[in-house]
Each structure stands twice: as C-alpha cells, then as structure tokens.
Chain A
Amino acid sequence: MKKLYPPVLLFNLILFSFNVYPQLSGDFITNTNFYVKDTSIGANTSQYKHEFSSSEAWLFLNYEIAGFKFNVRYDLFNNSPLLDPNEVYTKQGLAFYSVRKKIENLDITAGYFYDQFGTGIIFRAFEDRILGLDYAINGVRLAYEFSDKFRIKAFTGRQKNRFDVHPQVLKGVNIEKDFYLGDNLQFYSGAGLINRTLDQATINQLANEINSYKLEDRFVPKYNLFAFTFYNNMVYKGFSWYIEYARKSAEAIRSLSGDKFEFKEGQVLYSTLNYSRKGFGLSLQHKRSEGFSMRVSPFTSFLVGTINYMPPMSKQHAKVLPARYSISAQEAGEIASQAELTFSPSKKSTFMLNFSYVSNNSNKRLFREAYFEYYRKFSKSLNSTIGIQSVYYDKLTYENKLEDPVQTITPFTEIVYKIDKKKSMRTELQYLFTHQDHGDFLFALAEFNIAPNYSFSVSDMINTKPKKLDEVKHYYSFAAFYSLNQTRFGLAFVKQVEGVVCTGGVCRVEPAFSGFKFSVSTSF
C-alpha cells in the first residue's frame, strides 16, 4: 500500500466524515501520423515535405464531489492537419473546462458544455474528433425540471474556436413537455429559440462590404439572428411520427456563387415516420430547407462556426466503397427524401432496402442512392452479407469541383467466420463501377481477431480503371490492434485515396494519405 501523507490523509478523512466520496474518471486518446511522401496519389501536403509527423491528444478528466462535477480537458495539436487538412497547426493547453451542480430540480453548468434543441436543426453544440470539430459553448447553462414530463433549459455563451471563442454571442431557450393520452398514445413536444448577436467588428466588416455593392444589392444587415423551432413526436403502438418546423430571421448569408451577401430568411420542415413490429421495420424521412445557414458569423465557411446540425438524409455507411460518395446537408436549401425497409422473415435472414433522393430547390438532382442488403446466418460460426448500391452524386455541389456528376454501381459482400470461441475471421469484398471521378475501385479486406486482445487486418483498395492517374494504383493498409482491458493500441500503415469523410451526416473533403498511424485510447 502506498504511503499517504498526513495532510492528504486528513483531507480524505474530513471528506468521508461528511459523507462525501470524490470520484475521478476520465479518458485519453492520442493519434500520431508519420508521413511517407507519395506524390503519385496526391499525398503532398506540407507534412510530407517539412514536418514528417503530426500528433493530436486529448486528456479528459471528470471529478465529482458533493454533487459537483468538474470537467477539464487538455488538448494537444502538433503539426496537425486535423482541424484543417491544408494547415499545419500547433498548439496545446486547456481546451475545455466546466463546473456542473444539480440543486434539486435546477441543473447549473458554467464553462464549456455541449447540448442540442430537438434534432439540432436550430442549435447543436457537439464534438467530433474524427473530423476535428468542437462546437462546445463557453457560457452558462441552466436546466429546470418542473416534473419528469416538463422541462426547460436556457443558455448564453460563445462558441469555442480552437483554444479561444468566437466573438459572437449566442443565447437560447428550449422547452419540452410530454403528454400521455391513454396507454398507447404519447406526444413529446418541444420548442426552442436561438438568438445570435454579431460583434461590432463583424458588423462593420459586413457594412463595409455591403457599401461596396451596387445600389440595388445593398441592404442593412442585422446584428441579431433569431431562429425558432417547434417539434413533436407522436408515438402510437408501433408507429412514431416526428415533425419539426424551424424558421430563422433574415440575415446576411453568402450567395451560392460566393461573391456577395444576400439578405435572406430560412426555413426547414423535417419529418420522419417509423413503423416497426417483429421482423419488420419501415422508416420514411422528408426534409425541405431553404437558406438555413446557421453560423456564428456570415464570414465563416465550411465547418467553421456552424451552430446547428441537419439530420442526414442518406444512409450512413460503414463499408469503404459504399461510403465513398456520402453527402452532407446543403445550407442553401434542398428537398430530400429517404425510405428504408427492413424485413426479417426468420432469425437467420434479413433484407434491407434503402432509397434516398436529394434535389435543390430548383428541382435539380443532387444525389440519389438505391441500396439493397441481404444478411444470412448460415450457422453459429458463419454469417454473410451481400448487397448492391447505386449512387448519383453531384460533385460540383458537394465538393465544389467542376467535374461531371458521379454515377456508381457497387456490389459488396462480407463474410464472418468464427473459428473457435476466441478466434474469428472477417472478409469484405467490394467493387465500385464508375466512369467518372477516379474511375473503378476494388476493395478487399481480411481481418483476423483473437478476442479479447488482438486484431489484425490487411486491405487493399485498387484503382482498377484509373481516370485521374496514369496507372493502376493500390491503396493498401496493414493494421494491428492490441487491447488490454480498457486500453487499446493501434499501429497501421495506410494509403488512403482523397475523398469525402463523413460521420453522422457531417462531411469534409480530405486529401490523400500515405504513412503510418499510431493510436492509443484508454479510459479510467
């Protein structure tokens, strides 16, 4: 047993005498990349020429005592391209801190926090480390529960901007109430309101730009943006119907061509209808949006300074080639629909059918996907999935590249075989046919797992009919993972083609990668 110093011992005795038991928990993640130059695949950012390696790390600590929760997070970025793929970013320090206390029905948070109203259409503060996003709010948040069916929350603060905050002020209020009409019918209703106030420097910059426009294009920009949302989820037996309508006041937003600001309102109508019973599931989604750009400042672009989150209107894929042409919501507006049918005639087989279609407000097709998947369990040790996907993807809209729309057909299969209680084998085979973009790709993967400690994989993605390269190109990867309790180590050699990377409907274009990736993650 370790020796305890008298003051520490005394302090702990006092805490225990007051019936106060502190708890410390946390997690740690680090990723390090070593760059191996390969100009033939376009892996030629600054890290390949000058820095040769980059690292990111996050240490999150949560300390709880006497009903208080103290959170701190240390972030590190060394020569990192994570926040901007074309940047070499280096900085470290305390990036997140908060104190939270619940006093009866009142929940108080001061410092950084994450939250969302409804589905997030007018407000969502969230973090996504894969894409390098951190939309935490630094401010004060209050939540009060009148009862377990009636609650309100409100906040004011500013959005995190790397190790600082954006100068614009955000505030919002969200009310939710649940109604139970009999045993089978429930309504979960809510409303939210968000206000963003531009700082003087931004409004001056805006006014100066507007004053340089032609007279007929000028308008008086607003300091304040207001957006409200009303939503309701009705649940009746196996049915659930969600509908949300959001509207935002007119403000300066960049025109589609990007050359000037326009004074525009925005609105969104979003609805889902789900039905499920044993062996059968149906989901229908529809969204119509116009000019719904919600940002801390009209001068921010891409993924910087986004206040809200648009629910994805296409299938979220885990497999490499079906995920190659994934999409994110268009701020300027879109009309999107999605339907998904799942049918399991027995425990051993499941069919899944998905169709999604997205057009802009002028009814120009932007995206279309048809997807079919069949899962079959042959025995306790063997199961497989086969499927096919067809995609239409407007490259100009989603990647801002003046190239032809991409049309693909991608058959795929996955086989999982359990050799014994500990060992298993998984293989994937996919082929993407297309006459556009980079051309055809073949993807093959073999993964060998020894539970609970080891996992090895080898894969190759082959540009079999290259359109942009002169020769057939291999993007191979070798990876090994070692897990010990809650700690996981990973080492991989990766060649990755440039393309869109998405998580949960938020996407960005990433350049090609060539090199080693080392990672450690743990929690305590």
Chain B
Amino acid sequence: MNKFSFGSLLFLSLLGLLACEEEGPYINFNPEITDTSLIDTTYISDMSVTPQQRSVLIEDFTGVRCPNCPNASIKLHEIDSAYNGRLVAVAIHMFDNNFAYPHVLTIDYRTTEGTSIFTLLGSGNLPVGGINRKKYPSETNILVRTDKWLTYFVDNLSETPYCNITLTSRKDSIDTNAYIIKVMIQYTSNVLATNYITLGIKESGMISPQTLPNGTVDSQYIHKNVLRKILTNAGGTLLFENPEENRVILKEYKIKLQNDWNAENCKIFCFVHRNDTEYTVIQADEIKL
C-alpha cells in the first residue's frame, strides 16, 4: 500500500470528482420584451366558482425517426375520442435525441423548450410520456410507456382541480400575424403550495416524413399536437405562492406566428402546476387560436 504516493492519490481524487462536465437546467437567454399593454394582475374575487372538471395533460415525447412513436399518436387519438374535451395533448420533439433528428430537407419540429422539459421530467426511451407530470406509485419515473397512458389518464379524471383555467384568444389589433392570449385562473380553495404556469402553442396537420413501426418512412404522415413554442419559462413561470380561495390571476400573452405556422391548425394550451419537489399538474386547458 505504501507504493501509493501522496500526490498520486490526490490527483486520482481530483480526477474522479472533476471528470464530468455537467448539463445545467434551462435558463432563457432570449431577450424578452415587456409589453405594458398586456394585462398582468391579481385580486380576490367576491364570487366563488364551481371547480371545473379535470382536464389531463399528456406530454408525448416523440421523434420523426422513432418507429414506434406513431403508435403513441394513435393512443392519444383514442383517448381523445373516448374522453372528448378532457385531454390536453402535446407532442414534444427534442434536440440531442437521434429519433427526433429531422429527415433530410424536412421540417424540424425540435424546440429548446421541449428539450428542457424532457430533461426536467427525467427523459427515457421514446415513445414515452408524462400524464399530468405525476410519478405514480408503481413507477420509477414520471415518464411512462404508452400502454400505461390510458390507465393513468382515467385515474386523474376523478380528481377535482383546485383552480379553474379560462383561456381566450383574439387577434392583435395592430399586428395581424399576432394574437393576444388571455388567461384567467381562479382558485376554488386555499392552497399551501407555490404554483407555476406553463403556456404554449401547438400545431396539427403538418405533412412531413415520419418513420413507421415497420421501418418505412411515410412522407405523407400528418403530425398532430406538435409543440411550437412555450411562451412562459419552459419549466413554468411563478404564478402565485400559497394562493387563497377566490384568488384570481389575470395574465395576457402575445404570440407572433411564424410564417410556416398555420393559424387555423394552432391551439394554445396552458396548465398550472407544481415545480418544486414535484411537478404535478393541477389543471390544464386548451383553445383554438
């Protein structure tokens, strides 16, 4: 044992601990323009409201080169058909994933926000999804395989959310390619937790190549619910700490559509959630743009 020198042991110890370059959390370095014409306010309402029915968020992490991912899209369609209006589905394509790398000369659906969310929720092999961002007792991860989506989706339906979300959308009066999204959140009970809001835009109906389960590529595949942009922080923006019953939060967001987005096929989705020791979604909603 004496053959180990003081220096070599020290060097090995340093090497062991400093060997890896870490991947940090998502920080938004894009400039944000504060639009003072947008509403951002909160108050306590005199009127109580009845809790809404729960809508359930399913985040489908997918990729255009992922052969089994179309099955996940079919699963979402089945759930939506069976439980009309109770599902908020978002298909998320990530960077740093070979299955999501676009086919040659085709549309790139990947977003930095989607990549951050995938990391935040724990990643996994595609296709994989989060149901209301919960970690279920029999699961080791938040993100689960498609065959479990329906079971967990149904589990969530019976729960009563403690806040209601109301979304409205209107065209901006000046910029015809921009929309103003108004979000009203009202709490139906006192909450001892910090809540966050995530709001984004998704698009359906884009035709572009997708690898199918049999390994072939369908160049006429119709993509649905594809995440285009998150207007808040990717991991959510602070909404309110320990909100009281009848606390109302009113916020407006402005989104300018990119040229290759079709407004007719775009939807705004929004959800209120935790973002501390858990990420559980409290309530979700979506509207057509």
Contact = CB atoms under 8 A, between A and B. Distances in A.
Interface of A: 146-147, 150, 152, 154, 171, 173, 175, 177, 189, 191, 193, 195, 201, 203-208, 210-212, 215, 218-224, 226, 228
Contacts, number: 74
Contact of A150 (B6, B17, B120, B238): B6
B24 A208 contact: no
Contact of A204 (B6, B9, B29, B235): B235
B14 A193 contact: yes
A218 B29 contact: yes
Given A193-B17, A204-B276, A226-B17, A211 B27 contact: yes
Interface string B7-43: 0011001100110001011111101100000000000
B276 A201 contact: yes
A211 B237 contact: yes
A208 B233 contact: yes
Contact of B24 (A175, A191, A215, A223): A223
B141 to A, nearest CB: 12
B275 interface: yes
B14 A228 contact: yes
Given A150-B6, A175-B13, 4 more contacts: A201-B276, A204-B276, A215-B31, A220-B25
Contacts of A226: 17-18
Contact of B17 (A152, A195, A218, A222): A195
B142 to A, nearest CB: 11
A189 B5 CA distance: 13
Interface string B217-245: 00000000000000001011110000000
A152 B12 CA distance: 12
A221 B235 CA distance: 15
A161 to B, nearest CB: 14
A211 B6 CA distance: 44
B14 A203 contact: no
B229 to A, nearest CB: 16
A364 B234 CA distance: 43
Nearest to A199: B277
B196 A208 contact: yes
Nearest to B32: A215
B162 to A, nearest CB: 21
A204 B279 CA distance: 10
Nearest to B26: A207
Contacts of A146: 1-2, 4
B25 A206 contact: yes
A226 B26 CA distance: 21
The 10 closest A-B pairs by CB, nearest first: A207-B25, A220-B24, A173-B13, A201-B277, A211-B233, A177-B6, A195-B17, A220-B27, A201-B276, A146-B1
Contacts of A171: 17
Contacts of B25: 203-204, 206-207, 220-221
Given A146-B1, A208-B196, A212-B238, A175 B22 contact: no
B27 A218 contact: yes
Contact of B28 (A147, A193, A203, A211): A211
Contacts of A223: 22, 24
Contact of A208 (B18, B31, B238): B238
A208 B28 contact: no
Nearest to A154: B13
Contacts of B14: 193, 228
A189 B28 contact: no
B6 A207 contact: no
Interface string B260-288: 00000000000000011100000000000
